[in-house]
């Protein structure tokens, strides 16, 4: 089972262990911090391209619930048609600050974005590794 690895690091509180020695587990954050952004994007894309129904369901869930999934959704949105910040904000249901944060993250992944005179963002270039993920 895939989730067994997530819980394997948790140790039961024994008589000889103090509370400070027990590792704390915050749901989702600990695993998210261990993988790079590129690894997350690869995992989500692989799950979405897999033909099994369980993989597709998990891929769609990650696409909706993680910031890396949001990056993929933002990239797909900008590839479909140039958008203004307000349109991105409304479509993805995120704050204005998160829109700019995600645009910066995409640029850090090698996506070249530009903003036209009408303040619409569009994708100029996508690195080959990200093209395969879409």
The CATH number of the structural domain formed by 28-133 is 1.10.10.10
pLDDT in tens, 96-108: 999 999 999 999 9
Residue extents of the structural domains in the chain: 28-133
Distances (CA, A) of 52 to 24, 55, 57: 34, 5, 9
pLDDT at 128: 85
Which residue ranges of the chain lie beneath pLDDT 70?
1-33
């Amino acid at each position: 089972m895939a989730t067994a690895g997530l819980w394997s690091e948790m140790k039961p509180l024994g008589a000889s262990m103090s509370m400070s020695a027990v590792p704390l587990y915050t749901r989702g954050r600990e695993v998210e911090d261990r993988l790079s952004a590129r690894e997350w994007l690869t995992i989500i894309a692989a799950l979405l391209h897999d033909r099994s129904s369980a993989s597709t369901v998990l891929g769609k869930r990650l696409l909706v619930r993680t910031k890396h999934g949001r990056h993929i959704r933002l990239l797909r949105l900008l590839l479909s048609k140039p958008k203004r910040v307000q349109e991105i904000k409304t479509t993805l249901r995120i704050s204005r600050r998160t829109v700019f944060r995600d645009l910066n993250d995409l640029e850090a992944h090698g996506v070249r974005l530009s903003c036209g005179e009408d303040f619409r963002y569009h994708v100029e270039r996508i690195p080959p590794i990200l093209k395969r993920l879409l």
